[in-house]
Amino acid sequence: MSKTRVALVGAGFIADIHAESYHRFVPDAEVVAVYSRTESHARAFAERHGIPHWSTALDESVARDDYDVADICLPNHLHARMTIAAASAGKHVILEKPLCLTLDEADAMIAACKANNRKLMYAEELCFAPKYERVRQLVREGAIGSIYYMRQCEKHSGPHSDWFYDLDRSGGGALMDMGCHGFAWFRWMLGPEARPLTVYSTMQAGLIHPTRTRCEENALSIVEFQGGAVGIVENSWAKLGGMEDRVEVCGTGGVVYADLFMGNSALTYSEKGYGYAMEKAGSTQGWTFTTFEEAFNQGYPQELRHFIACVRDDTEPVTTGEDGRTVLEMLNAAYHSARIGQKVALPFRPTVSKPIDLWLGP
């Protein structure tokens, strides 16, 4: 059986991780094309990863018939348009988080994929991160009884790309960027029967990027689930010292703690410094937590491999457009909550054009 052909739509930080992950860990797929709106990015990316075709023509690209899967790694505001175009052109779609900017867009994306009988995977890598999956399995096994509390933190000192800081393209700040991970992961841990009931959030802006963005730089969000469990998500673009991604789970029969970055690292002291310690780490002089196989430990290869298998075997991805839509609804509720100082009940269907408007006002 021949390889499944993938086009990477986007050539930024996360597209690099996807390309590397396909290459090293997804033997049934081959990346045949890369698209970027910036010619130099597209060309350099194609060269770096040995991809035969590159182009800046995002919209026309979907008309080509030389690939099967569109892997969309674009800024958030382009997610809906590209997903719908790709699905309409008969491509399966795997899409980086968050799903899109509005619930209307979400519904249209899901409908387009359904109408064209194409698969839509919402790429939540935390559902594939092997350490977190180990945690989930032992919880499923009953190791810690019934979950009543979860915490998921994802914090760093701010994204590399400009578009994250531009609320029209991103739709929001640290919560929009990373809160989606925690919200999705809680649902993955609790299973589908545990609907999110309410969301409360508090947000802070102007911490270390005051001139660069009006977006929230730090957010604490509490979710209450049917069945009684509570989850707290902590997200920051103002946390110095490198990437933080960790979880705590408390149950009636025990607890589990897991840390994806510091918790998998070698501990290094270097007088003169070295090339790279971890994502968003600053200086490498002095003590650093040196990570390894970051993409693997975060679950990217496993996620992509899963989707390629879904496409080849015609099965449903474990994280679908509907999951992405629910997460987006929770994000909206969080922004609204941060404005009104109250927890917000779900379902919640605001009419704003991007989530952060619910906090800042349109």
Q: Is 155 a catalytic residue?
A: no
Contact (Cβ atoms closer than 8 angstroms) between residue 295 and residue 21: yes
Residue whose CB is less far from its own copies, 148 or 163: 148
Residue whose CB is less far from its own copies, 61 or 221: 221
Report the C-alpha gap between 202 and 349 in whole angstroms. 20
Closest CB 263 distance from its own copies, rounded Å: 8
For 216, half-sphere exposure in the C-beta direction (CA atoms, 13 angstrom radius) is 32
What secondary structure letter does DSSP report for 163?
G
Residue whose CB is less far from its own copies, 44 or 230: 230
Closest CB 153 distance from its own copies, rounded Å: 9
Report the C-alpha gap between 290 and 284 in whole angstroms. 9
Which residues lie closer than 8 Å to 290 by C-beta, 6 or more apart? 265, 266, 267, 268, 277, 278
Strand (E) or helix (H) holding 289: strand 286-290
Structure-block tokens of residue 181: 């991970």
Structure-block tokens of residue 42: 């597209």
Which residues partner with 123 through β-bridges?
A: 96
Residue whose CB is less far from its own copies, 70 or 233: 233
Closest CB 229 distance from its own copies, rounded Å: 9
Torsion of CA 299, 174, 179, 81, to 10 degrees: -80
Residue whose CB is less far from its own copies, 111 or 240: 240
- Report DSSP letters for 245-275, one per residue: EEEEEEETTEEEEEESSGGG-EEEEESS--S
Residue whose CB is less far from its own copies, 79 or 131: 131
Report the C-alpha gap between 185 and 138 in whole angstroms. 15
Contact (Cβ atoms closer than 8 angstroms) between residue 224 and residue 166: no
Contact (Cβ atoms closer than 8 angstroms) between residue 294 and residue 307: no
Closest CB 66 distance from its own copies, rounded Å: 22
Return the amino acid letter for 268.
T
What separation in angstroms does the CA of 266 have from each of 94, 240, 263, 289? 33, 19, 9, 6
- Only one residue has tokens 């969000």, namely 221
Closest CB 227 distance from its own copies, rounded Å: 11
Residue whose CB is less far from its own copies, 65 or 293: 293
Catalytic residue among 91, 97, 119, 155: 97
Catalytic residues: 97
